[in-house]
Amino acid sequence: MSAGEKKEYWRWEESCWVDESKNWRNARIVTAGIDVGSVSSQAVVCVDGELYGYNSMRTGNNSPDSANNAIQGVLDKSGMKLEDINYVIGTGYGRVNVPFAHKAITEIACHARGANYMGGSSIHTILDMGGQDCKAIHCDGKGKVTKFLMNDKCAAGTGRGMEVIADLMQIPIAELGERSFDVDVEPPAVSSTCVVFAKSEALGLLKSGYTKNKVIAAYCQAMAERVVSLIKLIGVENDFFITGGIAKNSGVVRRIEKLLGTTAAKTKYDSQIAGALGAAVFAYTLMQKQGASKVAA
Amino acid sequence: MIANYGYKDGSGEYYISIDTDQCIDCAAGRACLRACPKGMFETMTDDYDDEVVQIKAQFRRSLAYDCTGCKPAGGHTSLPCATACTPGAVKHSW
């Protein structure tokens, strides 16, 4: 980093992955889900209803470009062309701006379906901690939404709020979770109603002698309390699953688990792709209903 | 499906919940659409291809203010939307 260049502590790691043990050319149905969120965009490609590859990256200032860039990552890595994909579903805030999507479905339904795929049919409560909103979802054993509630009015309890704190503390966002446990005594939560107030309060705490880790712990606790109060409005029915970028922050996840008195189901998949994965699975189901024929040579 | 539209902020929780399973074959002839003086309800096709009612997006972040006129302070003894919905699918959280 050159002198004067500002380090972006909030910047989370983008990722692109393809399952090289699968050959998409042998697939009967290839589907894709594109989740254009307010902070991140994901593209997931499924072959015959199974996860084949994904790309997760930051959303730019243009939804169609974000969707194109997201899918292009998977296409480049797999040798696939857009025409090889039978059906594409767009979801997320920018779902109506995915130029190559055949249909748009809300992220609420897609996250439920994605969580069902990732965690299995025992998942009944989902907490999606997105970039600029937070959703509590109940679903049945097939991933169909039975109840939902969301809060997108304020950034407290969202990924963007965590990015703000990472920048303020000048600590890489991926390290916040573990560092929040490196404290002698668990501090009380900072203001849980507004990121702007929480930021001011954090500065005040630093001046009063709090260590950075202690401030982070206070913020993680505030975020956990914030989303737990939301999810309690619809009730928790096990198994419980967390999707979205914040699911990667152990400092928030473990505090949520403590407040709820339950453990979130673990998954081998990237929690950030749940929405796009759900969209791709939806697309597969739709294609099956339509009696799709093999398209890939 | 119980769909909750609204928000929670420092002043409280403001959600209108709609039991969309009861909306599908509405026994009240979509009376909620006409009952709301602000026209906050609209019909839409949900993700499972059922025609149901929802709260228009532009009202979802300001329910505490938009619904004030229909609360007791506005002279009402019961909510026009909830009263019009005879199957009981519409409820306010506050």
Distance CA A33, CA A20 (A): 19
Question: Cβ of A230 and B47 within 8 Å?
Answer: no
Distance CA B21, CA A227 (A): 27
Distance CA A46, CA A244 (A): 19
Placement of tokens 């920048």 in the chain: A167
The 10s digit of each residue's pLDDT in A37-69 is 989 999 999 999 999 999 999 998 899 999 999
| Domains with residue ranges and CATH for chain A | 15-114+273-290 (3.30.420.40), 123-264 (3.30.420.40)
Placement of tokens 């989303």 in the chain: A227
Contacts A149 to B, Cβ<8 Å: 4, 15
Report which of A31, A146, A17, A140 is spatially closest to residue A91, judged by C-alpha positions: A31
Contacts A144 to B, Cβ<8 Å: 48
Mutate: best of A150, A190, A231, partner B, most B CBs <10 A: A150
Q: Residue A98 phi/psi, 5° resolution?
A: -90, 105
Using the Cβ of B75 and the Cβ atoms of chain A, whether some distance falls under 8 Å is answered with no
Whole-structure pTM value: 0.91
Token output for A6: 């500002």
Token output for A282: 């939806």
> Residue A31 carries which side chain, given as an amino acid letter?
T
**pLDDT of amino acid A294:** 44
**pLDDT of amino acid A195:** 78
**pLDDT of amino acid A295:** 45
The 10s digit of each residue's pLDDT in A68-113 is 999 999 999 999 999 999 999 999 999 999 999 999 999 999 999 9
**pLDDT of amino acid B76:** 83
Using the Cβ of B10 and the Cβ atoms of chain A, whether some distance falls under 8 Å is answered with yes
**pLDDT of amino acid B84:** 96
Regions of chain B where pLDDT drops below 70: none
In 3-state terms, what secondary structure has residue A208?
coil
> A157: alpha, beta or left, given left = phi > 0 and alpha = psi -120 to 50?
left
Distance CA A216, CA A200 (A): 13
**pLDDT of amino acid A283:** 97
Residue A143 sits at the vertex; the CA angle it makes with A280 and A229, to the nearest 5 degrees, is 115
| Length reported for chain B | 94
Question: Cβ of A233 and B9 within 8 Å?
Answer: no
Q: Domain map of chain B by residue range?
A: 2-92
Q: Are A14 and A57 in contact (CB under 8 A)?
A: yes
Contacts B59 to A, Cβ<8 Å: none
Using the Cβ of B1 and the Cβ atoms of chain A, whether some distance falls under 8 Å is answered with yes
Q: Output the CA–CA distances (angstroms, integers) from residue A92 to A277, B55, B74, in the order listed.
A: 12, 18, 37
Q: What CATH number should be reported for the domain whose range is B2-92? A: 3.30.70
Regions of chain A where pLDDT drops below 70: 1-5, 156-157, 192-193, 292-297
Q: Which of A109, A138, A147 sits opposite B47 (nearest CB)?
A: A109
**pLDDT of amino acid A297:** 34
* Shortest distance, CA A131 to any CA of chain B (angstroms): 16
* Shortest distance, CA A106 to any CA of chain B (angstroms): 7
Question: Cβ of A146 and B1 within 8 Å?
Answer: yes
Distance CA A42, CA A193 (A): 29
Distance CA A266, CA A123 (A): 11
Using the Cβ of B48 and the Cβ atoms of chain A, whether some distance falls under 8 Å is answered with yes
Whether complex ipTM tops 0.95: no
With residues binned 3-state (H G I as helix, E B as strand, rest as coil), the percentages for chain B, rounded to 5, are 30, 30, 40
Q: Residue B58 phi/psi, 5° resolution?
A: -70, -10
